[in-house]
Structure 1
Amino acid sequence: MSRFWPRFGMVVGIILILIWCLLPVVWILSLSFKSEDSIINGNPGFLPSEGTFAGWDNYVGVWENDQFRRAILNSIGISLIATVLSVALATLAAYAIARLDFKGKRWVLSIALAIAMFPVVSLVGPLFDMWRAFGLYDTWPGLIIPYMSFTLPLAIWTLSAFFREIPWEMEQAAQVDGATSWQAFRKVIVPLAAPGVFTAAILTFFFAWNDFVFGISLTSTEAARPIPASLSFFVGSDPFNRPASLLAAGAVLATIPVVVIVLLFQRKIVAGLTSGAVKG
């Protein structure tokens, strides 16, 4: 009996946490399958009154919208480019910080962390004026550069912890066998730090995919506007009555790539996050 109550409390706590986390997801799924008339008339409950299959029209309507498809393409392209560039530069910088001794190394990491924690909103105004002067406003590079400015310091901080855990003797053994410093880094160090590289890439991609502030402030057309910002302009035929069901369907479709990535690579994500946290 003494073990019953702790286990019961743990089960109840887990159920409450799941309800708290999944309730918004269930609610937006419910809205995405309801018609506009059902929402306007105040249909209670989670299930649509007109049938689930009728709600698929919302997804078809969103996907057939050129604005939505262009925004998805922008998000995929911008997020992937920002991820590749950030991880590549962060890998080289983190290796230098972990392996080389130079003055101000701790300051570099401290400044990098401070930049990663800097308020995004405070940079929107200066970037708006700069990008208009440089011709980067409403372009892919105009979003990739701000994304990298925040994700690169975080990736450097994450990867430097992994490189410090790799034994220095393994790199020296590769050099003794005839490998150059670059070959030892590329064929020995990087594969061993793969969990950290993967974790940095996932964090970078998620930041770029979910960004709203830069996406809505540094774009004015659908040429480079990503999906979070584009959904805020998706007003339908009547700008005074936003299509809540279509917006919910668009939000669900925009979330699918992130959910798929997490489900496919959840083991690597967890391994990468925990490997850098314990130093043996």
Structure 2
Amino acid sequence: MEKKAGVSFYLFLIVFVFVIMFPFLWVFLSSFKPPTELYGSQAFNWIADHPTLNNYVSVFVDYPFLNYLKNSFIIAASTTIISVLFASFAAYALARLRFRGKSVILGLTLSVTMFPQISTLSPIYIILMHLGLTNSYTGLIIPYITITLPLSIWILVTFFRKIPQELEESAKMDGATLMQTYRKIIFPLAVPGIFTTAILAFIAAWNEYLFALTINTDEAYKTVPVGISMFSGQYSVPWGEICAATVVVTVPLVILVLIFQRRIVSGLTSGSVKE
């Protein structure tokens, strides 16, 4: 009976993973199909009859895709660094320091993420336009921080609360200041949570579309999501190039998550045992 239950569980797990991965798998296989096999009855074939790399070549030759990648990386990386830096200090204060209104501040921080982006787009655009920050990296980094910072604070507060408070009390008894305690004791233990937060912030900034479409209209400052959406022509949609570009953008994120996942697990296991 237990053996049948185990087999059923693994079968369910395989089906579940297949359903989750199906869209990306279909896009990945379609990226190798020539245009003639993307339409009609051949579009439903899993494997292309005449696989080709022309779609990937076209993405980099016929479109300024490298520039899109560069813009997205600069903006997403800058947003992540600034958000995680400020969020780590704010989260530590909310998790450890005693003052009135902590729960209110934390609730307000979380409520910021509940506003739909379209409701804040117009005022943010007007402010950036008057400041002369449209069509620039800074013009996207600022609104992206408003998206990623509240989320980063919320995640890190939860993580800081799990760190034993006895460690801070011991450091205080040894004469360490609050900043020294944070830098030498709390921060090293919080590295797994900071990595997790950085991944989520980076992905959120990397995939954002609405602000990027509205604020940066110059071709030189367009990001990957906006650039891919501009592949479509007036009379045709180059699905092969769109699929290839999607794969190129998604694979580095998957690799990034897998790399950091190892460090997160390693950090959690090494910091979880108190000697």
TM-score normalized by structure 1?
A: 0.88
Residues 254-269 of structure 1: matches in 2 within 5 Å? 254-269=249-264
Q: In 1, Cα distance between the equivalents of 2:242 and 2:209?
A: 15
Q: Is residue 2:123 matched to residue 1:126?
A: yes
Residues 166-245 of structure 1: matches in 2 within 5 Å? 166-235=163-232, 238-245=233-240
Identical pairs, percent? 38
CA-to-aligned-CA distance 1:196-241 (integer Å, 9 cap, x gap): 1111111101101111122212221223221011100123xx5311
Match of 1:251 in 2: 246
Residues 20-31 of structure 1: matches in 2 within 5 Å? 20-31=19-30
- Deviation, 1:272, is 8.2
Q: What is the CA RMSD across the aligned residues, in angstroms?
A: 2.1
**CA spacing shift, 1:124–1:190, aligned 2, 3 Å:** same
**CA spacing shift, 1:101–1:82, aligned 2, 3 Å:** same
- Deviation, 1:271, is 7.6
Do 1:163 and 1:193's aligned partners in 2 also have CA atoms closer than 8 Å? yes
Do 2:83 and 2:149's aligned partners in 1 also have CA atoms closer than 8 Å? yes
Q: In 1, Cα distance between the equivalents of 2:264 and 2:203?
A: 12
CA-to-aligned-CA distance 1:16-69 (integer Å, 9 cap, x gap): 21221121112101211011122245423011121x3xx212112212345211
- Deviation, 1:115, is 0.9
**CA spacing shift, 1:270–1:63, aligned 2, 3 Å:** farther
Do 1:59 and 1:246's aligned partners in 2 also have CA atoms closer than 8 Å? yes
Match of 2:49 in 1: 49
Match of 1:19 in 2: 18
Do 1:87 and 1:201's aligned partners in 2 also have CA atoms closer than 8 Å? yes
**CA spacing shift, 1:12–1:154, aligned 2, 3 Å:** same
TM-score normalized by structure 2?
A: 0.90
Q: Is residue 2:29 matched to residue 1:34?
A: no
**How many residues in Structure 1 have an aligned counterpart in Structure 2?**
268
Q: In 2, Cα distance between the equivalents of 1:41 and 1:110?
A: 52
Q: In 2, Cα distance between the equivalents of 1:171 and 1:217?
A: 46
Q: In 1, Cα distance between the equivalents of 2:258 and 2:142?
A: 29
Aligned AA (1:112) = T
The more displaced of 26-35 and 12-21 is 12-21
